[in-house]
């Protein structure tokens, strides 16, 4: 996928690097030359330009791009103007970073459906990890539901998913399992790598060290985590 990222601060640059690592062709834009210099050797293309200058977009491969991400985090006005310019390119799916509730309202009025709040999302995830350190990670689905990665309790080891009755007992659904797989390297050393085992069935047997990916209401997941911490 060809992706244009506008705004190469902490959020934008991290996004550019991660997307590049995942095989996407990234074109980064920022008006500060020092930010451009930091990424010029790490992503496919990067240019220094004022994203509020509509004429400058004629020099970009924007017609061939699939996705435009407005990652500007310092200037709400500049972010809104940049989003408005990108809206003129009908071929482009737009993801825009929001900096405030008013910004949310403006983006909604502009017809931007993909809005991200990196600071809020990071705060949410950190809060969950601090409050429930049995959980490895959280992903907020909406205000009431989450997907969480949690260590499989030792009492689950050797048991089938069906026998655990997770939905009946805990009101959570098991999406998949992340498991350690050991293999010998050239130097005869045993290396361990974690892999997703795919979709689980009722007959899937859980093993020691498994990580469970659960979906449920925030309350149900929190109750599950607390119960397992007490009983494990």
DSSP symbols for 66-134: SEEEE---S-HHHHHHHHHHHTT-TT-EEEEE--SHHHHHHHHHTT--EEE-HHHHHHHHHHHHHHTTT
Residue 83 has pLDDT above 80, yes or no: yes
Pick 137 or 7 by higher pLDDT.
Answer: 7
Whether residue 55 is found in the same domain as residue 87: yes
Over residues 35-44, mean pLDDT: 91
Band the pLDDT of 145: cuts 50, 70, 90: confident
The domain tally of the chain equals 2
Backbone dihedral angles phi then psi of residue 47, each to the nearest 5 degrees: -140, 145
Q: What is the mean pLDDT of residues 115-125?
A: 79
d(CA 225, CA 166): 12
pLDDT score at 176: 93
From 52, 85, 116, give the residue that closes a domain.
Answer: 116
If asked whether residues 24 and 100 sit together in one domain, one would say: yes
Q: How many CB atoms lie within 10 A of CB 71?
A: 26
pLDDT attached to residue 163: 96
Q: How far is CA 141 from CA 125, 148, 159, 215, in A?
A: 12, 10, 29, 9
Is residue 108 located within the same domain as residue 181?
Answer: no
- Residue 159: domain span: 121-231
The answer to whether residues 99 and 163 belong to one domain is no
CATH classification of the domain holding 221: 3.30.70.1450
Claim to verify: residue 108 and residue 127 sit in the same structural domain: no
* Same domain as 175, residue 101: no
Contact 27, 46 (CB under 8 A): yes
| pLDDT(91) > 70 | yes
- Are 140 and 177 in a shared domain? yes
Give which of 118, 117, 57 is closest to 91, Cα–Cα: 57
142/220 same-domain check:
yes
From first CA to last CA, the distance across the chain in angstroms is 44
Same domain, yes or no: 73 and 137: no
Residues 6+ apart with CB under 8 A from 49: 29, 31, 56, 59
Please state, in angstroms and rounded to a whole number, the distance separating the CA atoms of residues 204 and 160: 5
The predicted-structure confidence for 41-76, as pLDDT tens digits, reads as follows 999 899 999 999 999 998 888 889 999 999 998 889
What average pLDDT does the chain have?
A: 86
Question: Which of the listed residues 116, 150, 179 is the one where a domain comes to its end?
Answer: 116
Residues 174 and 109 in one domain: no
**SS3 of residue 2 by DSSP:** strand
Please determine, for residue 93, whether its predicted confidence score (pLDDT) is greater than 80: yes
146 strand-pairing partners: 140, 216
Q: Are residues 97 and 142 in the same domain?
A: no
User: Could you read off the pLDDT of 161-220 as tens digits, one per residue?
Assistant: 999 999 999 999 999 999 987 665 555 555 667 788 888 999 999 999 899 999 999 889
pLDDT band at 222 (very low <50, low <70, confident <90, very high): confident
Binned at pLDDT 50, 70 and 90, residue 231 comes out as low
Task: Look at residue 186 in the predicted model and tell me its pLDDT.
Answer: 53
| Over residues 80-105, mean pLDDT | 93
Say yes or no: 68 and 134 in one domain: no
Domain boundary among 116, 146, 173: 116
Percent of the chain whose predicted confidence (pLDDT) is above 70:
88
pLDDT of 90 higher than 80 = yes
- The CATH number given to whatever domain includes residue 36 is 3.40.50.720
């Amino acid at each position: 996928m060809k992706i244009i990222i506008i705004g190469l601060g902490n959020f934008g640059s991290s996004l550019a690097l991660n997307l590049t690592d995942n095989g996407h062709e990234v074109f980064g834009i920022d008006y500060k030359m020092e930010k451009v210099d930091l990424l010029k050797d790490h992503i496919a293309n990067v240019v220094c330009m004022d994203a509020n200058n509509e004429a400058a977009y004629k020099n970009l491969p924007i017609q061939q791009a699939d996705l435009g991400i407005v990652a500007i985090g310092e200037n709400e006005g500049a972010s809104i103007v940049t989003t408005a310019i990108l809206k003129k390119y009908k071929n482009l799916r737009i993801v825009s970073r929001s900096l405030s509730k008013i910004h949310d309202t403006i983006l909604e009025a502009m017809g931007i459906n993909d809005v991200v709040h990196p600071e809020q999302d990071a705060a949410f995830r950190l809060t969950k990890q601090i409050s429930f350190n049995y959980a490895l990670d959280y992903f907020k689905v909406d205000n009431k539901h989450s997907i969480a990665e949690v260590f499989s309790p030792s009492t689950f080891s050797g048991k089938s998913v069906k026998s655990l009755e997770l939905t009946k007992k805990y009101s959570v659904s098991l999406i998949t399992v992340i498991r350690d797989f050991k293999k010998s390297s050239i130097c005869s050393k045993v290396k361990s790598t974690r892999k997703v085992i795919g979709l689980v069935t009722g007959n899937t047997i859980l093993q020691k060290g498994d990580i469970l990916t659960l979906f449920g209401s925030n309350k149900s997941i929190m109750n599950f985590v607390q119960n397992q911490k007490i009983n494990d």
